[in-house]
Amino acid sequence: MRRVTFSDGKFILELSHRKDGEKTCWIPVQKKTFWPVIGSPKQESSASLS
Asked if residue 12 belongs to a domain, the reply is yes
Is 24 inside any structural domain?
yes
Within a domain: residue 47?
no
Q: Is residue 17 part of a domain?
A: yes
Q: For residue 2, what pLDDT is reported?
A: 62
In a domain, 37, yes or no: no
Residue 3: inside a domain, yes or no?
A: yes
Length in residues, the chain: 50
0.95 cut: is pTM over it? no
Total domains in the fold of the chain: 1
How far apart CA 17 and CA 24 sit, in angstroms, is 7
pLDDT tens digits, one per residue of 7-50: 776 666 677 766 666 677 777 777 665 555 555 555 454 454 54
Domain of 19, in residue numbers = 1-29
- Count CB-CB contacts under 10 A for residue 4: 13
- pLDDT of the residue at 7: 72
pLDDT at 4: 66
